[in-house]
Structure 1
Amino acid sequence: MKIIKVCLFNDKNEIRVIDFKTSGLNIITGASKRGKSSILDIVEYCLGSNHCNIPYGHIRNYVSWFAILLKNNDQEIFIARKKPEARSNVSNEFYLSHGKKIDIDNILYLEENSNQHDILSFLSQEVGMYPHITEVPQHQTRPKIDINFKHSLYLYFQNQDELASKKLIFHRQSEQHMPQVIIDTIPYFIGAIENGRLSELEKLRQLKRELATKKNKHYEINSLIGDGLAKGNSLLNQAKALRLYKGDGYIKNISVILENLKKIEEWTPSPLKSDDNIDQTENLDKLQKSYEKLSLEKRILNSKVVELRSYALAVDEYSTSKNEQLIRLKSIEIYKKTLENTDNEYIDLIRRNLLKLEQELEDSSTKQPRISDSLNELEKKQKEIALDLKSMREQINLIRSINFSSNVKKEFNNDIESAKIVGKASLYLESLESVNSNSYLRNDIERLENLISSLEQHLNPTNIQELLESQINFISEDITKWSRELQLEHSEYPIKLDIKKLTISADTPKGRIPLYQMGSGENWVGYHLVTHVALAKWFAEQKRPVANFLFFDQPSQVYFPSDKSTKGNLNEIEKDEDRVSARRMFKWLYDVCKYELKDKVQIIVTDHAHIHEDWFEECIRDVEWRGFNALIPLEWYQS
């Protein structure tokens, strides 16, 4: 995977495009404050970084979307990412398009169709990353890392501060937790962790779970059986004490023990024979039946009482109502008036109603005593039944509370103990039969232990470390060779990449010299260059799942302070040896790309220097960024 274009879109959908070649050395040269270094930040941002280090100013003010066009095998990938909103570090709005050929000019409008998670998953798949989660040693609390494309970003970039650092080798190494992330993930990218290790680790966990289950089963069976002869004889002795077994002495033959225990297993408790107990049981049954019958009779009687009380209440209410009517009619004393010569039909009607009411009241008054007598009779019977039920309950409870006779109780307890022994014998027999019929369990345990041992040996982290050291040795050979070509200090000795300490060191007769103990900015820049080019070469040749480009920002800074230069010419460098070293560095980058990396790795350099030689001129991309030429076109912010 390499970079074809870096694109900027403004709010008017105007596009600024910087083209690159996918092989060889690509140089963006120009004066300071033209946005050269920002190209690195833009590419990293578009590749799904958690940070946006694109500087504020013209770039953020006039660009709405940042984009890159990538080439991966025979496919082109266009990724655009919206600039962060105010007070936000990043945006999660992405635009993704991919196919055989992507025409930037046909992209008229950018609209979110993806997000950071999906972009990283897509890129991980495109470079061929296989699943892997880092392993954390016991007693260490750092989180495991589910490796994706984002974790490879530290391999591609070297900004100005990092490139000239004597303490840092990798991009973002100075950030909190990042050194450990690099240490944990770089063995994967280099190739010390094989494809399929994650599934093999899961297989190992499954085998261990299966082994634990079978061992627990085996332990349970053995603990139940114990020592076969001792356990069997102990059970027979317990059975003998309860008259379930009549043998004597210690039996040394397991078959005889099993035969006797099987007979004991057939034991059944004898029924209780006490006549007293039988009589009491019969009496209890009779009483319970009588109690149930009388309880039913009581419920029926209760219903009758409720109905009769309701009827009595209704009759009483009726009499009261009629009596009130009679009183009202009598109060007008119409029946005392003598109207011999007056014919009044209303007076006759009232008189007839009075006579009717008096008759109804007389009838109801005769009914009330009869109702009262019936109710008293029923309530009396209620009390009698309640007393009978109470007496029966007391008799039932008395029978239930009577203890068995001493013989019956003894016989009952003996049966309980016998049942316990029979249960133990059955469990013992089942366990012994289980071991005999499942002897394959021990074979399974042995088979699983062998598989686990073999897999653990294969997955031993020591093997990873040994393989990693061997691979680092190959990479370090190129580092040593190229450091000599650049004539770096201590390069007469073997130069070694130290992954554990994340540094470069020279193995001298007097001991190892790490980069931070070497002098001169020229050495620091030089060792950064050769280290990352050596890694990129290894990744490409070994077809590792990473992108195949490198980004170096301002490698000439140690020779070529931009504040004293106007055009970036080598003759502006004061010291002759520095001019020679600066040219040697760029010529080495050109030659290593052309003759060793060939089309495998793309190197992009943003720098102040401009060497007026054909080999350098052919590497310059875009125009030289001096005067009004810069990353952001003049018309974008002057219109």
Structure 2
Amino acid sequence: MQLLALILYNADGGRRVVSFRPGALNVVTGQSASGKSTLLDIFEYCTGRKTATFPIGPMTDTVSWYAALFQLDTTRAFAARPAPVPGKKTAEQAMLKFGPDLEPPPYTHLAPNTDRHTLRQRLGRFIGIEENHSTTPRSRGPSSTGAHLGHATLLCLQGQSEIADKNHLFHLQSDRYVAVALKQTLPYFLGVAPHDQARKYAQLNAARSRLKQVEKDLKRAQDPSDTAHVTLAALWHEAHALNRSQRQLRPTTTSRPCRPSRRPFSHLPPNRPASTRRSSATSTSNAPVPTCASSSGPSRQTAACS
């Protein structure tokens, strides 16, 4: 695909044509701020770029349609888009027409017949860019990724300040979003990656984002169960400090004398001699009174004698 001309139309029917010679080096010269770099913006806008980046001035005040004429292998293509309405940065409508001997039509023949997405896809198909557009869901909204004509133009254009830039090689590479898009699609244009690699890369990033979000949700769901007992204990201590609780949180240990059994010799065998019983009774009566350690809790009380 070679650029034959860029055309500007105004509402009065006049037009300005900037012609280029196909198959040759075209050099555009002029004074500073005369609109040389704006030609790149017009080219990108005519090939489907979303945002118009034209500098505000006489051109944006008078031009109503921007158009480009391309030479393809066996035919020509005329691509045009209306100027954004005041207060907007883009226009979704577009006009696309093919013909072997096509020339820029007059202003009265301009009429939208497609949108910028279809314009970009159809032109890309003519130059061999396979259909690889994909919309991948993300936590912050859908993300459209795929190698298309817009990425190809980034490899072919260079602004005046980009030619001598030693840090950037491609057009608009200083924009971090453009740099990421170039990183994902350059292998496709070099022929070392399949046409769906960009889509798979976007799907992988979306899956990683969803996994990270699910892990965060799981952690938030587990935290309350881990800290519930701590919160409950803190609430109980606060209630106890305010004398709002009558029950003790922990069991206490106290010592008290054991009550002697009413039948101290009932545990002896029945056939044991009486002398043995008396000696046992004597030794028992002279023994010190044992003490018991009792533990009282919310639902039970136990005692151990020694």
Residue of structure 2 in register with 1:162 after alignment: 162
Query: Equivalents in 2 of 1:119, 1:85: separation in Å?
Result: 20
Residue of structure 1 in register with 2:119 after alignment: 119
Residue of structure 1 in register with 2:128 after alignment: 128
Residue of structure 2 in register with 1:89 after alignment: 89
In the superposition, relative to structure 1, how do residues 97 and 167 fare at CA in structure 2: closer, same or farther (>3 Å)? Answer: same
Higher strand share: 2
Residue of structure 2 in register with 1:33 after alignment: 33
Q: Conserved in 1, the CA contact under 8 Å of 2:158 and 2:171?
A: yes
Query: 1:176 Cα shift?
Result: 3.1
Q: For structure 2, which runs of at least 5 residues remain unmatched after alignment?
A: 137-141, 201-306
In the superposition, relative to structure 1, how do residues 10 and 176 fare at CA in structure 2: closer, same or farther (>3 Å)? Answer: same
Q: Conserved in 1, the CA contact under 8 Å of 2:92 and 2:115?
A: yes
Across the two proteins, how many residue pairs are aligned to each other?
195
Q: Deviations over 1:257-315 (max 9, x none)?
A: xxxxxxxxxxxxxxxxxxxxxxxxxxxxxxxxxxxxxxxxxxxxxxxxxxxxxxxxxxx
Query: 1:155 Cα shift?
Result: 0.7
Residue of structure 1 in register with 2:206 after alignment: none
Q: Deviations over 1:72-93 (max 9, x none)?
A: 0121100111111111111112
Query: 1:147 Cα shift?
Result: 2.4
Residue of structure 2 in register with 1:515 after alignment: none
- Three-state SS of the structure 2 residue aligned to 1:122 is helix
Query: Equivalents in 1 of 2:47, 2:37: separation in Å?
Result: 16
Query: Are 2:3 and 1:3 aligned?
Result: yes
Query: 1:199 Cα shift?
Result: 12
Query: Equivalents in 1 of 2:99, 2:63: separation in Å?
Result: 26
State the one-letter code of the partner of 1:185.
T
In the superposition, relative to structure 1, how do residues 58 and 99 fare at CA in structure 2: closer, same or farther (>3 Å)? Answer: same
Residue of structure 2 in register with 1:65 after alignment: 65
Residue of structure 2 in register with 1:44 after alignment: 44
The percent of aligned pairs where both chains have the same amino acid is 28
Query: Equivalents in 2 of 1:13, 1:123: separation in Å?
Result: 27
Q: Deviations over 1:159-182 (max 9, x none)?
A: 122223232221121223222211
State the one-letter code of the partner of 2:35.
G
Residue of structure 2 in register with 1:615 after alignment: none
State the one-letter code of the partner of 1:186.
L
Query: Equivalents in 2 of 1:52, 1:66: separation in Å?
Result: 11
In the superposition, relative to structure 1, how do residues 110 and 133 fare at CA in structure 2: closer, same or farther (>3 Å)? Answer: closer
Query: Are 2:12 and 1:16 aligned?
Result: no
Q: Conserved in 1, the CA contact under 8 Å of 2:184 and 2:198?
A: no
Residue of structure 2 in register with 1:104 after alignment: 104
Query: 1:53 Cα shift?
Result: 1.4
Query: 1:108 Cα shift?
Result: 3.1
Query: Equivalents in 2 of 1:86, 1:120: separation in Å?
Result: 24
Query: Equivalents in 2 of 1:105, 1:124: separation in Å?
Result: 22
Q: Conserved in 2, the CA contact under 8 Å of 1:13 and 1:109?
A: no
Residue of structure 2 in register with 1:371 after alignment: none
- Three-state SS of the structure 2 residue aligned to 1:27 is coil
Q: For structure 1, which runs of at least 5 residues remain unmatched after alignment?
A: 137-141, 201-639
Query: 1:103 Cα shift?
Result: 2.6
Q: Which runs of 4+ in 1 moved over 6 A?
A: 196-200
Residue of structure 2 in register with 1:326 after alignment: none
Residue of structure 2 in register with 1:600 after alignment: none
Q: Which has the larger radius of gyration?
A: 1
- Three-state SS of the structure 2 residue aligned to 1:68 is strand
Query: Equivalents in 2 of 1:144, 1:92: separation in Å?
Result: 16
Residue of structure 1 in register with 2:80 after alignment: 80
Query: Equivalents in 2 of 1:14, 1:192: separation in Å?
Result: 47
Residue of structure 2 in register with 1:186 after alignment: 186
Query: Equivalents in 2 of 1:48, 1:183: separation in Å?
Result: 20
In the superposition, relative to structure 1, how do residues 119 and 105 fare at CA in structure 2: closer, same or farther (>3 Å)? Answer: closer
In the superposition, relative to structure 1, how do residues 197 and 59 fare at CA in structure 2: closer, same or farther (>3 Å)? Answer: closer
Q: For residues 325-364 of structure 1, what are the structure 2 equivalents within 5 Å?
A: none
State the one-letter code of the partner of 1:152.
A
Q: Conserved in 2, the CA contact under 8 Å of 1:84 and 1:91?
A: yes
Q: Conserved in 1, the CA contact under 8 Å of 2:96 and 2:114?
A: yes
Q: Deviations over 1:219-272 (max 9, x none)?
A: xxxxxxxxxxxxxxxxxxxxxxxxxxxxxxxxxxxxxxxxxxxxxxxxxxxxxx
Query: Equivalents in 2 of 1:146, 1:22: separation in Å?
Result: 29
Task: Calculate the aligned-residue CA RMSD, in Å.
Answer: 2.8
Query: Equivalents in 1 of 2:184, 2:196: separation in Å?
Result: 17
State the one-letter code of the partner of 1:8.
L
Query: Equivalents in 2 of 1:93, 1:144: separation in Å?
Result: 19
Query: Equivalents in 2 of 1:67, 1:35: separation in Å?
Result: 16
Residue of structure 1 in register with 2:150 after alignment: 150
Q: Conserved in 1, the CA contact under 8 Å of 2:147 and 2:198?
A: no
Q: Conserved in 2, the CA contact under 8 Å of 1:131 and 1:198?
A: no
In the superposition, relative to structure 1, how do residues 40 and 196 fare at CA in structure 2: closer, same or farther (>3 Å)? Answer: closer
Query: 1:197 Cα shift?
Result: 7.5
Query: Equivalents in 2 of 1:42, 1:113: separation in Å?
Result: 20
Residue of structure 1 in register with 2:56 after alignment: 56
Query: 1:68 Cα shift?
Result: 0.5
In the superposition, relative to structure 1, how do residues 199 and 178 fare at CA in structure 2: closer, same or farther (>3 Å)? Answer: closer
Query: Equivalents in 2 of 1:133, 1:109: separation in Å?
Result: 31
Higher helix share: 1
Q: For residues 426-465 of structure 1, what are the structure 2 equivalents within 5 Å?
A: none
Query: 1:150 Cα shift?
Result: 2.0
Q: Conserved in 1, the CA contact under 8 Å of 2:185 and 2:198?
A: no
Query: Equivalents in 1 of 2:199, 2:8: separation in Å?
Result: 42
- Three-state SS of the structure 2 residue aligned to 1:28 is coil
Query: 1:96 Cα shift?
Result: 1.4
Q: Conserved in 2, the CA contact under 8 Å of 1:7 and 1:67?
A: yes
Query: Equivalents in 1 of 2:65, 2:199: separation in Å?
Result: 40
Compute the TM-score of the two structures, normalised by the length of structure 1.
Answer: 0.29
In the superposition, relative to structure 1, how do residues 144 and 187 fare at CA in structure 2: closer, same or farther (>3 Å)? Answer: farther
